[in-house]
Amino acid sequence: MIELQDIHKTFKRKGQTIEALKGVNLRVNKGDIFGVIGYSGAGKSTLIRMVNYLERPTKGRVFVEGEPLDQFSPAQLRKAKKKIGMIFQHFNLLESKTVYDNIAIPLVLLKQDKNRIRERVTELLRFIGLSDKADSYPRELSGGQKQRVGIARALASNPSILLCDEATSALDPQTTKSILDLLKKINEQYHITILIITHEMAVIQQICNKVAVMEKGEIIEQGEVLEVFGNPQHPTTESFVRTVIQTSVPESVLRTLSPEGAGRLFKLKFVGGNASEPIIDSLIRKYNVSVNILFANMSEIQNTTLGTLILQIEGEDKDIFRAVEFLGTRGVEIQELREFQSFSEAGDVEEGVKQRKIKEVKAV
Ligand SMILES: Nc1ncnc2c1ncn2[C@@H]1O[C@H](COP(=O)(O)OP(=O)(O)OP(=O)(O)O)[C@@H](O)[C@H]1O
């Protein structure tokens, strides 16, 4: 549906060369809500602008619905661009035109007749819930309402792809949620493929099924959202995941750990069904161990539960071993929080530091 093959983009400014994209490969399938996340300057805006040829690659090819954009004549390119709508962080509405006229712009440019335009704009106003604002001007609307108008304008010519450039970054969390809900509805109801760029992991968590993480003009990790959230490979991905899912022991818990605390510490990760099973109960009943839950966190991603538990298990080593073995058979990913070094190697320095504090507390 959208395919970027080995895309490079170089800007030249004041004798300086800036490599904004360095060999990006990306495939967005029909029906995806695909999120691209990265810090400022990672190359996200440059990447999304490749898809509708607002920016052309220095090297590499862009395919939309299987067709290579570099092979198109200007007329074919204009036609192809009609399949692609775009919304922006600052809405880009014309201040001198009413809501109705803003939404009608793409249809006027396509020289559609007035009755058809009225029909389509009326339908879109109803869809975005702003039928009563048709004659208002953008300055009379809230940020969320302006973005709804931006969305209606992007949908006017019935695109099959919607590009969202930091579409919720200027909005408060509640308005962000309502706009993301609207995007999800557009994806489900109109079967429109959505490509979103953002610096907020919460946006990815709420609506995307796929995610790519960008850094310094490259994609450093990509995959199904559940997979990437559950098992991030790159430290940058890990730090994005941490902004929405807490997986390390909070300071307040560390402070309550008893200095003479015996037992061993384990971090458990659950995905999906096994998150709701009474595993801890089985552990205590089946094995001769006592279990202290130090920390628990459950998050919902793509209608699936992702859980993290930190347990202090006390008992004889052989019983703890059997208990841990049992957890493994239940599809729980388990890791002993013992060696500070192993966390540093995994890039989980913050976790490592906290674990070292646990050891220090124990050693008192
Ligand atoms: N038209 C341009 N001319 C020169 N340099 C550019 C141009 N557009 C982008 N860049 C540079 O390319 C790099 C990537 O910029 P880009 O805007 O794509 O990143 P981004 O991830 O979208 O960041 P932000 O979230 O801050 O917009 C930056 O170093 C930027 O300065």
pLDDT tens-digit profile of 139-191? 999 999 999 999 999 999 999 999 999 999 999 999 999 999 999 999 999 99
By the 8 A CB rule, do 148 and 129 touch? yes
pTM listed for this prediction: 0.84
Residues 160, 267, single domain; the answer is no
CA of 20 to the centre of ligand 1 (A): 6
| Per-residue b or e along 210-240, where b marks 16 or more CB atoms closer than 10 Å to that residue's CB | bbbbbbebbbbbbbebbbbbbebeeebbbeb
Judge whether residue 354 has pLDDT over 50. no
The alpha carbon of 178 and the centre of ligand 1 are apart by a number of angstroms equal to: 28
Same domain, 300 and 232: no
Give the ligand 1 atom nearest the CA of 49: 18
Cα(41) to centroid(ligand 1), Å: 5
pLDDT band at 315 (very low <50, low <70, confident <90, very high): confident
List ligand 1's pocket residues with C-beta within 6 A: 11, 13, 18, 20, 38, 40-46, 199
Same domain, 117 and 28: yes
CB of 162 closer than 8 Å to CB of 112: no
Boundary residue ending a domain (212, 242, 272): 242
Choosing from 46, 197, 199 the residue with most ligand 1 atoms within 8 A of its CB, the one to mutate for a pocket test is 46
More confident of the two residues 356 and 116: 116
Is the model's pLDDT at 199 over the cut of 50? yes
**Residue 247: CB atoms within 10 Å:** 20
Do 82 and 197 belong to one domain? yes
Same domain membership, residue 255 and residue 234: no
What's the token pair of residue 64? 């939309």
Residues in the chain: 364
Give the closest residue (by CA) to ligand 1 atom 1. 11
Could you say which of 242, 260, 276 is where a domain stops?
A: 242
Tens digit of each residue's pLDDT (9 = 90 or more) over 238-256: 999 988 887 776 777 666 6
- Pair (65, 35) in one structural domain: yes
Residue closest by Cα to atom 14 of ligand 1:
43
Residue nearest to atom 16 of ligand 1 (CA): 43
As for how many domains the chain has, the answer is 2
Whether 196 and 305 map to the same domain: the answer is no
Mean pLDDT of 330-358: 53
pLDDT grade for 311, boundaries at 50, 70 and 90? confident
Q: Domain containing 223: what range?
A: 2-242
Per DSSP, what are the bridge partners of residue 8? 22, 59
pLDDT score at 303: 80
- Place 314 in a pLDDT band, splitting at 50, 70 and 90: confident
Q: Are residues 282 and 174 in the same domain?
A: no
Domain final residue, candidates 194, 209, 242? 242
How many CA atoms, within 13 angstroms, populate the side-chain half-sphere of residue 4?
Answer: 27
Which ranges in 128-172 belong to alpha helices (H)? 143-155
> d(Cα 262, Cα 265) in Å, to the nearest integer?
9
From ligand 1's centre to the CA of 261, what distance in Å?
51
Q: What are the tokens at 188? A: 């489900």
Q: What is the CATH number of the domain that holds 32?
A: 3.40.50.300
Nearest CA to ligand 1 atom 7: 11
* Cα–Cα distance, 64 to 58 (Å, whole number): 18
